[in-house]
Each structure stands twice: as C-alpha cells, then as structure tokens.
Structure 1
Amino acid sequence: MRFVFLLTVIFLAACNSSSSSSRSGNAPASAAPESPAPDVISRSAVPSGAPPAAFGQEPVLRTNPSWPFKEGAPRTSGTGRYANGAFYWTDFVYDAHGALGPNPPIYRVGTPSGGSYHYPEPDQAGNGADIFRVGIGADSQNSYWRVDWQTMLATEVPIAAFALDYHSGGDDEIPGAGVTAPGIDAVVLLSSAGVTVDFKDGNGPVAIGEFKPDLASRSFVAILPKSLFPIDTQPWTIYLVSGIHDGNGGFLDDNAAFRKLPTQPPVFNAAFRDYEDEAPLNNFWFDQQQATALNQRDISEFSIELDWTRLGETEPEPLVKGYSNRWYVSSLSGEALKDGGQAAGIDRAENPVNQPQYYDQVQPYGFYLPESYREDPANPTVFTWLLHSLTQNHNQYSATVPNFLDGACERLRQSICATTLGRGPAGGYNGAAEVDFWEVWRDIAQHFTIDSERTISSGYSMGAIGTINLMIKYPEVFAGGVVLAGSHADSPLLPCSPGSSGCAEPKGPELLQNLKWNGYYHAHGSFDQLVPFADARATVDAIKDYGYRYVFDHYVAEDHVIWTLKDIAYPAYEEAAKWMVSWLNDVDTRKQRPGNFVYRWEPSAIDERLGVGPQGAWWLSEIKAIDNVDFAQVSVNSGAIGEADIVAVPGSPEFLPPNQKTLSPALRDSQAWQLNDPLPLNGRVSVDLKNVAALSLNLADAGVADRADKQVVMTSDSPVMLTLTALSNGTLVSSSSIREVVSEGRVTLALPAGVDQIINFSQ
C-alpha cells in the first residue's frame, strides 16, 4: 500500500446533514458499584486461530464509591434504561464539540464533527467536557445525580448542569449555559466548586447537598435531600449540558480559547440525544443536530422523561435495530498505547493521522443489527467486518455509504456488522488498532449470538489493506475477504512513493500464499490516485498465479476518492455484498481443517506484549523464526486428510454494464476450482520450512495421530525444534540418531537442517 494517498483522502470530508426529532428517552438499566468482570470468552465465540488479544478479560470500569446503586448503563450510546433504583443513560462518546464555529479542527478533517470548539488547556486533554454516562436515582432519604466523563485528567475541568422541569410554569433559561429549554424550574450544577441548585427564584445558585467527585472513575455524584424537590408526583422532563468549569461553579465562556463566536454558548455537550435526533448520514460523531441546536441556543429537543415511580424496575438492555454506536472497555489506555503518548483524551496535534489518537479506556465502535436478529444460539447471525479507511472513523459507512451498509448487513445478508475506531484514523489494523479489532469482536460475541464460523472481513482503502493483512496473519479465522480500492503487492511498474510504507510493507505478494482457503473479492478503479491500479492488479495476479479462487471487478472509469461519495451510484458496493452471499452459499463456513496449506509470516509483526501477530494456523502453532530474517514459512501437507485434487479454472471475462443508477461499467475476471477425486489416504505428513527455528504440529488435527503408518518427512534450511502433539504417551519418536519418548501427549525433537528427514513412530 502506498500511503501517498494521505493528503488526498483528507479531501473526503462529507457534507453536514442530519435530521432532528424530539424524543424523551426512556429505556432500560442494570448494575454494581464494583460490577463483576465478564467471564473469559470461550473459544467457541471468537474463532480458533485468533491471537491471545481476542481471548482476554474485559477490564472493569470503576464506579464512583458514592453511587449506591448497581451498575446499569447501556452498552449502546444514545439509549437509557431503568434498573435497581436508578435511571441510566449512555451518551455518544467523542461528541463534545459544541456548536460549529469559524475554525474547525484539522485533526478531524476526514471525519468532520458537527461542532468545532477547541479545548485550550492540557488538562482538558482535547475532550474534557465529554459526557459518557448519566445516572439519576433515589432512596428513602436522597436523590443522586451522576455524570461520568469520557475523559477526565482533573476534576477541576468539567461542569455539568441538569435542568429540571417538574411542574407547570418555569422559564426557558439555563443560567450560565447560554441555552434554553421550555419550562425549567430548577438547575443542578456539578463542578469541583461543589453542587449548587438554582431554583430560578432570583437568588441564583445555592450550595446544597454533597458533591462527590472521583477521579479514578472519572465521575461526579451529587447527593441532594429528597425533600428538596417534589419527587414521586409526576414524570419530570430533564435536560443535561456540559462545558468547561470557570473555577467558581459556572461555565467558562472564552470565545478566543474555544475558537467560537460570541453568539455561541459555552456548552460543549448536550446529553439525551438518540438516533431520532442524530441521524447517521453524514454524522461521523453523532453530533450534527447537537451543533445545530447549540448554534440556535435551543436544546429543547434533547431530554428524557423521568418517571420516579419506575426506579424499582429493571428493564432489559436496549436493543437498537439498524445502525448504532456501542462501547467496550479496552485493555489498553493512556500512555500504555504509545511511548510519549498522553494519559487520556484526544491527540489534537495538527497531523490529522497521528496514531494512536484516542487514548481513553472506553472506546466506541460502529454496529449494525439486522431487523431479523433474534438471540438464538442454535441459529446464530452471520457476522461481517467493515473496516474503515485512512482519515475515517468507526462511522464511515453509516455516514457516507449507507446503501452499502444496507446491502451488506440488511437487505441482502441480514448480518451483524461492525467497524472499529481502531484508536484513530490511521492505525492500519496493526498494534493497538489490531487489539481494538479483537476486543470488539470479543465484546460482540459476549452480547450477541454471532456465527463466527462464517465471518467475512471487508473494507475500503486502508480497511481493504487491513482485511488482506488480517487474513494473511489469521487465515484460519476468516471465511473470506472483500477488498475495495486496496492492494497488497507492490507492482514492479511503479517506483516506491516517498515517505510511503509501500516499499517496506507488505514486502511483496508472497504472503498471499496464506489465502488458499479464503474467498477473495476485489474491486478497483483504473484512475485510483492513491492505491495505483497496477498494485491492485499485481495483488490479484499473485492470487491467480497461486491457483486460488477470486473475483476481480475492474471499474474502468473510477478513481479512489469519488467512489466513496457515490454510494448507491457505484455498483462495486452492491457487487461486493452479492459476492458475500454467494461465497458463503458455496463454502458454508471458514475452512475447518485443511489437508495442506502454506503459512508465511513476518517476525516483526508479532507483538507479544499486545497479544497480536502471526500465531500459526489450523494444526500449526508455536511458530518461531530464526533471528534476523524478514520472513519465515511453513508448507505442510497431510495425506490423511482427503483434500480433493484441485485444478484452477480461470473464468470467462465478463462485462458488467451500467444500469439505471450508475454509468460505471466494469470488467470482471475470476478464477474458480474444479475439485477432482482425492488421492488415496496415507499417514505421511510433509513439512517444508524456510527460516523457521521452531514449530508445533497437532497430529490429531492433521489426521495421523492414531494411524499405524504415520510418518513425518521434513525439509528445513535451518536447525529447528519440532514439537509434535496429540500423541500417545510412551510412543518412541525417532529421526536418524535422535530418540525421544512422548510425555504428556507431546514430544520435541532438535533437528538439523536437511532435506527429507524422516521421523518415525513406534511403541
């Protein structure tokens, strides 16, 4: 891939467009001051072949010790629920941008936010007023008002104001916030100056109750006497806004520092916005309608209706069909992500593709739940990845190509779909961005019944390249991949681009040998400015030359940038979704246990600290390369697994004509397999090694463990430690002068370099 496309993709900022609707937010809750951690995920939910990062335990978010109720905030942003004495709301994260001012931040040029306010001080971490979760509860003595912040390095930074409408009358002003909503009777303000209540009686805010900040949980809790308000009489309408604290219990209003207009309010975030308020189209951070409302200084559309009599209920977790944002707790955060990184919040450096860029422990991801979804372990739902491109975020596909989302996830396939933020716009699905990928998969598998045996990864541009690289590292995991405007092989026709990673990675087409058992669809435009067509053609040609299956649609009149803005007018999206359907109809599941495969890897891609990188595949594991090499490779074949004799059959060239929605024609070439009868079964396992220092073979999965005629024949260019597993204890394993006895089901042989070394087995 040539990252020379960086500056051009910045051009992808979409036009702002969102719809407004009024809705009071009622929805369900659950709960615990220290909520129990989820169980370690079983390997049946995330496929075998995934790296250790996929199978860890989700960290537990600390709860403010002054909050007396069990936890219950929804995992879906823009929803709420009642549970165990409280009402909970989860807000959209990284949406605290205020109104649209004169100076939008450069760092979000590829994913424009609705608002454009800046955070001037380091302790604001670029995101210090971002509301994450809200809780409102009551017991026999007190009412409790809780705000959790997505980013908080200092309790002095944010301020929150609950505006309460609990009886007829009131007025429209939220004092100090500069915004209005109808019928406000009182305002409860939470800041490091304490909790104050303005009863709108002309006396201003009065210090009442207790204020309990907790930096460890990034949380404010206010405790007020229950007698203060007419609780239990009738449902209340409640609004919530946030900003930067002025140090005296009010909102800081600094036009120059915030880079806002004098007519705009000092509010960065307004809670209680749902998916009717914030339509996904062109809404990368679900803040477009918030920005419009703040420009108009009117937040009356954003409220919840709180019924105090329902606080004893426990509603189920909200289930949003269609597109939404969900969140999970990452194992990584702050400075652990990168040496010299910041403790929390957003890296707002002028470089729009700094990586990582989002440092908080809580991370959002895009999520599509088809209308047909039912929680049924016996009939799990197909699962699909939609990986975003450079400069984009987890909402790229809902914001810019909703018809692709509809085709891939609803109309044609009824699939659960997900897009990670990947810690920012330029992670390339490596390092921390790859950890995000696996931990999101684990989170979805814990909360939904997904069919991980039939997973397809797809993506555009960087997401397409990520799809290729993830399949190369973990071919066992995926049924297939969809590559839109991406490549892997660098063509010999073009020089390496200055400053690109094209020369150093991905190091040529040889790694594509790993994809023998994965389906492959590729679409590319002739005039792609950023990923040259020659590179895409070279990638497909490599797959063709290896004799693998593929479909390649060459769009003769398309480029790299404009097609992302065409959506339904570009048939590649529809064709990609149709290929996903046909491929799974053909193969049913990912390859379970191949009789032969090649596994090539780059030792530099292994990060043991993060638990990601090449692991081996199927019946190959515990791989290690010799020192100081760029690659290592294992080729294996088992005569005990009856693979068909495969003959690659090139497809006839096809012309995909324009239709009534698009004038974009394509030329299709493809390759399929003719499957002939397999050879007679035998117990021979052949192993060919290049630059390999150690490996392990599971002979049961290779089909030979219990065969009397089992034999391993190995060729290696280096000395190697060969471990064989799933054998009977006491079995004598020998090769030349080497003799070892199986113990605890395994044996390790220290073998020299050599050709056709024979390993025999006897009791």
Structure 2
Amino acid sequence: MTNKTALAAGSLIAASLLAAAAAAAPGTAGCGTGSWIASTVDLCAGVLVYRDYVLDHYGAIGGGSQRWNGGALSEPLGGARYPESSDPISLIKYADLVALRMWIAGGRLHVSFEMNALFTAGQTFAALAIDTDDDPATGGGVWGSLLAAAVFEQGDPDTTAIDTGANTISGSIPLPPGAHWRIQAVTGITLGHNVFNVAFRSGEPESAKPNWWFERLQAQALSAAGGGDISAFGYAVDVAKLTGGVTERAAPGPGYYERVYLSDYTVAQDPQDPTKQVYDSGAEGYINGASSSATYGVPGRRSAAGLLGQWVSAVGRYQPYALYLPAGPAPHGLQLHLHGLTQTHAAQVEQPGAQQRFGEDLNRILVSPLGRGPYGWYSDSSERDVLDALADAQANYAVDPERVFMSGYSMGGYGTYYFSALYPQRFAGFVDWVGYPGDGCERTPIANTCPNGGPSNVYEFFENLEHVPGAMLYSGEDELVNYQQGESVRERFSELALPHVF
C-alpha cells in the first residue's frame, strides 16, 4: 500500500481513488443528469456534480501524435498514449473523465468518478486534492508533487472495487476540516501513473485556436513547459452547501461551449468474439481490436473504405457538439454548422467571424455536431447524431422553429445537401461551402471525375430542394471538391427547373 498521508503543502489533503466504494450518491434525481455544458458544476441536494468535456483525454504536449481516426485537421495538442497503442485512442477512453460526484455522509467525504469507459479493474486511477482553507498562499501548486504523494493502488482499504459496468471509480476519505475548500481532480492510467485528464477547465473554449478537442489548456499545463502546474483548474466549495443539502443549477450565459448529450445508440459485442465490439451486426470492422482502426460504414456502400471513406470513431453514449449562444433576445434562430472531412465539432464554430456573423448578427444559436467522428459523412449513425444534437439544443434553448438553417463545409456541405433534401420541412434555408455531391459524382454529368466519398449521391435528392432556399459556393482551385462538382450542381438544378442564379 502506498503513502496516503496528508500533503505537506499547507492544509492540502489528497486522496487517490482507484476502486469502487459506497452506495450511489443521493439526491441527484432531476439534477446533474441529462445533457450538459462541459466543465460546469451543479449542486444537487448536497451532491456536487461536475461534468467534463468528453474525448479530451490527451494529457501533456509531447509523446508523439495520437492515433485518432482523423488527420491534420483533428489532431489533439496533448500526446499521452495508452498502452494499447495499436487501438485508436478514441476507442479506449478508460482515462477519459465524464463526471465527478462528491457528497458528505457518515463523517466521510464520498467521491465517485465516472469514466467514458472502464474495461479492466486496475487500469485507471482517479485522484482528488483538497485545499481545506481555499488559500493559495498555503495550498495548491504543481499537480505532479500531489500525485507522487498520494497514489493509491488497487486493494487499498479505502477502496474496494472498480465498477466496469457503471464505468465508475469510487471511494471515501475522512471528512477534511475547513468550511471552504478548493478542489482539484485528475484521471489517468495506472501504468506509470500518467495523467490524461484534468477536471474544472472551464476556459478551454476561449483558449487559443485551434482547440479541436477542448484540451489545449490541459495539455499546456501538464507539459514540461507548463511545469505540470494545474493550479488554475479548481473549484471553490462551500462545505455548508454540501451538509445543508443545497441545490444550485449551473446556468451559463451567452458564449461558446461544448455541450454533451446522452445518445440512445452505442455499440454491441461481436457475437463471434465477445472480447470485441462492432458498430452494428453487419459492420466491416471491429471498434476495439486489432482487425480495424475504426468502424466502417454499412457494407456494400461505395464509402466502406478508402481515403475519403465513411467510418465511425466516436462510439460511446456520450456525444459532444460545439455550441454558441448569442446575447440577443429569445427566441433565437438556429444554424446547424457541419464540419468537413478530418475535422471535429469545434472546427466551424471556431472559424474567424462565424460566431459574430452567424451567431450575434443574426441572433442564431450555432450547433456543430461531431457526427460520430471526422469521417462520419452525416449518414447512418452520423446522421442520427446530427438529429440528436439538434433535438438537444431545441429542448434546452428557446428556438424559433421557423428560423432553423442548415450549413456546412466540404463533407459538411455534403451533409447540408443531404439534410436539406431529406428533411426539407425542418429548414428555412441552407448555406453550402464547396459541398461534395458524393459517390464520386456517379450518375452525374461529370461521372468519374470526383474523388470517392459519401455513402449516397445527394445529386439525386435535389428535387426536394424546390421550397428550400439556399446559397452554394465553389472554388475553381479546390483540389478535392473541384469546380466540375459545382457545375454538376448547376446542371442538375437546370434539369429540375429549380430557380437559381449561377
């Protein structure tokens, strides 16, 4: 058993929680549940509920590039690697913190960390640090020293098990002294006690760009240049609110955020090999094994493989989307803004001028789904993700249903055509930047001149756009979505006698 004494830095107490303990947290019904804005805290009948970004488990800068199913336009800044380096990090996730719940009962402080995945007991550690007088002069500082002083291994008497079914790591420590605390927390892998994820990082969306996975501040702080100092990331606790059973809900105002919703669609075990998982019963690849680096689309589609093929890499039940809330009066308009190939949900909302021109000037909420990964092509489960992100935004904010618009870039332009044509009753209009028609432009006037990609040819759905106004922009020098594809759109509009100006 390793050292679990109080730390020397002032009145800071740290506990590492590597196994499950205690009963479920009380008082959480209707609070701290459902979808959330990342890095916010709710108090729910005396239970502190912090909920994190998801898919942000990349640790410090360095260590080589991550094996994410993307490319240059979706690489994280952090370079921490799991031991299972043959599998994509997007499919491992057992150091990816989802939520932290903390409450007081029986003279002890109980804590439960929920992870995005837990496969084997002992793979993951979670650690909590408490400055018991919330005074930077007597506590806080570099996380590395806190970790070294307070790592608990599996089998410690304060911890009993890891619940791989609920993906939780729970335990309790004697109630710390003090009326006002400042808490910090991390999660990571037990091998080398490497920190992958830091809690309470509310400033990520407004940090320097690009920040594809909302982890730039984390990576910088944990790096050698940052000295491992995560003292900027913490939360001040009024202990009386925990003991008094107080309920306070987070209510973030206008601004740029990551929002996370709970999907009804996840993954299943492979009936031929229960140690592996598949996206669906006919998928062409494993999502947790050596036979494939990703989950490919529906077999038989042209897009099942290849450089521009469709595959799904964000497979869990927690799915993120980028969100911008304007300062104007409600009800707001809403604009879905779909990212391009190899990009993430942050890509388009972070574009220069996007938040001002589309969000503030037009008083629109901007919603940019991940689409189940950088190669989802907004079809199949990626299509479901877009609809679910839209539904979540409309359920949580005042949206004028007559002012819902679709937009997207490149692959997102393909999605813009796809959604505007298949769901024309839902959109007041669309904007398409170099939108790809799909399927290598087969069955179009420019067959075999386009790169392959996209599971359907949206060119065939254009007649549904008769009552959906839109604007389309193409470039004569675009090497992927070439000018011939813009020409094919114009020709199809002419063939269908759709009013247009070219």
Give the TM-score of the pair, scaled to structure 2: 0.79
Aligned with residue 289 of structure 1, among 199, 208, 217: 217
Structure-to-structure mapping, 1:190-201, within 5 angstroms? 192-194=154-156
Are residue 517 (structure 1) and residue 475 (structure 2) matched? no
- Answer yes or no: is the 8 Å Cα contact 1:457–1:478 preserved in 2: yes
Alignment of 1:180-191 (within 5 A): 180=145
In 2, distance between residues paired with 1:486 and 1:223?
53
- The Cα offsets for residues 612-648 of structure 1, whole Å up to 9 and x where unpaired, read as xxxxxxxxxxxxxxxxxxxxxxxxxxxxxxxxxxxxx
Kept after mapping to 1: 8 A contact 2:115/2:168: yes
Structure 1 residues 237 and 86: alpha-carbon distance in aligned structure 2, compared to 1, 3 A threshold: same
1:307 and 2:238 aligned: yes
Question: Matches of 1:98 and 1:78 in 2, distance apart?
Answer: 17
Which residue of the partner structure matches residue 451 of structure 1? 400
CA distance in 1, matches of 2:414, 2:261: 25
Q: Distance in 2 between matches of 1:418 and 1:308?
A: 36
Q: Which residue of 1 aligns with 2:180?
A: 235
Distance between the aligned counterparts of 1:285 and 1:472, measured in 2? 30
Q: Closer, same or farther in 2 for the Cα pair 1:276/1:420, shift >3 Å?
A: closer
Question: Aligned equivalents of 1:533 and 1:294: distance in 2?
Answer: 45
Which of 350, 365, 386 in structure 2 is aligned with 1:437? 386
**1:189 to partner: Cα distance:** 5.1
2-structure distance, mates of 1:190, 1:348: 33
Check the 8 A contact 2:205/2:257 in 1, yes or no: no
Change (3 A) 1:144 1:129: same
Partner of 2:492: 542
Separation in 1, partners of 2:50, 2:435: 39
Indicate if the aligned counterparts of 1:163 and 1:188 stay in contact, CA closer than 8 A. no
Q: Does 1:216 align with 2:165?
A: yes
The CA deviation at 1:135 is 1.3
> How many Å separate the matches in 2 of 1:537 and 1:299?
53
Paired residue type of 1:142: R
Structure 2 residue ranges without an equivalent (≥5): 1-20, 269-277, 296-305
| Superimposed CA distance per residue, residues 169-196 of structure 1 (whole angstroms, 9 cap, x where no aligned partner) | 457465xxxx257xx9x976566434xx
Q: Which amino acid aligns with 1:370?
A: P
Whichever residue aligns with residue 448 of structure 1, its letter is Y
Distance 1:157 1:354 in 2: 31
Quote the offset at 1:104 in angstroms.
0.8
1:45 corresponds to: none
Asked if 1:390 is matched to 2:341, the reply is: yes
CA distance in 2, matches of 1:84, 1:450: 30
- For 2:286 and 2:152, how far apart are their aligned partners in 1? 30
Instruction: Give the 5 Å matches for 1:302-341.
Output: 302-311=233-242, 312-335=245-268, 337-338=279-280, 339=283, 340-341=285-286
Residue of 3, 19, 24 corresponding to 1:66 = 24
Question: Cα distance, 1:357 vs. partner?
Answer: 0.6
Residues 190 and 222 in structure 1, CA contact (< 8 A), matched pair in contact too = no
| 1:111 to 1:510, Cα distance in 2 relative to 1, 3 A | closer
Which of 106, 115, 130 pairs up with 2:78? Answer: 115
Displacement after TM superposition at 1:497 (Å): 4.6
Structure 2: distance between partners of 1:224 and 1:363: 32
What letter corresponds to residue 145 of structure 1 in structure 2? V
Please tell me whether the aligned partners of residues 475 and 518 of structure 1 are also in contact (alpha carbons under 8 angstroms). yes
Residue 428 of structure 2: aligned partner: 479
Q: What are the residue-to-residue correspondences of 1:589-600 with 2, within 5 Å?
A: none
Match of 2:324 among 341, 345, 368: 368
> Counterpart amino acid of 1:355?
W
Change (3 A) 1:354 1:520: closer
Secondary structure of the corresponding residue to residue 264 of structure 2: coil
1:334 positional shift: 2.1
The reply to whether residue 421 of structure 1 matches residue 349 of structure 2 is no
Distance 1:453 1:242 in 2: 44
Distance in 2 (CA, whole Å) between partners of 1:445 and 1:190 is 44
Structure 1 residue 317 displacement after superposition: 3.5
Distance 1:327 1:192, change over 3 A: farther
Residue 454 of structure 1 deviates from its aligned partner by: 2.3
Distance between the aligned counterparts of 1:493 and 1:534, measured in 2?
Answer: 7
Residues 349 and 329 from structure 1, CA distance in 2 versus in 1: closer, same or farther, beyond 3 angstroms?
closer
AA aligned opposite 2:426: V
Q: CA deviation at 1:324?
A: 0.4
What whole-Å deviation, never above 9, does each CA across 1:691-723 have from its counterpart, x for those lacking one? xxxxxxxxxxxxxxxxxxxxxxxxxxxxxxxxx
Q: 1:495 aligns with which of 436, 448, 452?
A: 448
Counterpart Cα distance in 2 of 1:276 and 1:511: 39
CA distance in 1, matches of 2:322, 2:46: 30
Deviation at 1:360, TM superposition (A): 0.9
- Secondary structure of the structure 2 residue equivalent to 1:468: helix
> Residues of 1 paired with 2:238 and 2:293: CA distance?
40
| Residue 65 to residue 515, structure 1, CA distance change in 2 (3 Å) | farther
Change (3 A) 1:280 1:332: farther
TM-superposed CA distance for 1:140, in Å, is 4.7
Report the AA paired with residue 370 of structure 2. Answer: L
- Residue 383 of structure 1, CA deviation: 1.3
Contact 1:162 1:189 in 2 (8 A): no
Structure 1 distance, partners of 2:286, 2:332, is: 38
Residue 402 of structure 1 is matched in structure 2 by 352
Q: CA deviation at 1:117?
A: 1.5
In the alignment, is the contact (CA less than 8 A) between 1:180 and 1:300 conserved in 2?
A: no
Q: What is the deviation of 1:147? A: 0.8
> Structure 2: which amino acid aligns with 1:391?
T
- Offset at residue 514 of structure 1 (A): 1.2
Q: CA, structure 1 residues 510+93, in 2 after alignment: closer, same or farther (shift >3 Å)?
A: closer
- Provide the C-alpha distance between the structure 2 equivalents of 1:173 and 1:267, rounded to a whole number of angstroms: 13
Q: What CA distance in whole angstroms lies between the structure 2 residues aligned with 1:234 and 1:318?
A: 25
Instruction: Tell me, in whole angstroms, the C-alpha distance in 2 between the residues paired with 1:212 and 1:373.
Output: 49
| Structure 1 residue 493, shift from structure 2 partner | 4.5
> Which residue is 1:722 aligned to?
none
- The 2-side partners of 1:218 and 1:102 are apart by 27
Aligned residues: 437
CA distance in 2 between partners of 1:461 and 1:405 (Å): 19
**Does the Cα contact within 8 Å between 1:277 and 1:289 map onto a contact in 2?**
no
Aligned counterparts of 2:116 and 2:128: Cα–Cα separation in 1: 18
CA distance in 2, matches of 1:493, 1:443: 39
Matches within 5 A, 1:617-628: none
One-letter amino acid matched to 1:70? T
Change in 2 beyond 3 A, CA 1:85/1:267: same
Matched-pair contact (CA < 8 Å) for 1:99–1:292: yes
Provide the rounded CA distance (Å) in 2 between the counterparts of 1:432 and 1:66.
32
1:455 Cα deviation from its structure 2 partner: 1.3
- 1:510 Cα offset (Å): 4.3
Shift in Å, 1:119: 1.1
Separation in 2 of the partners of 1:152 and 1:435?
A: 25
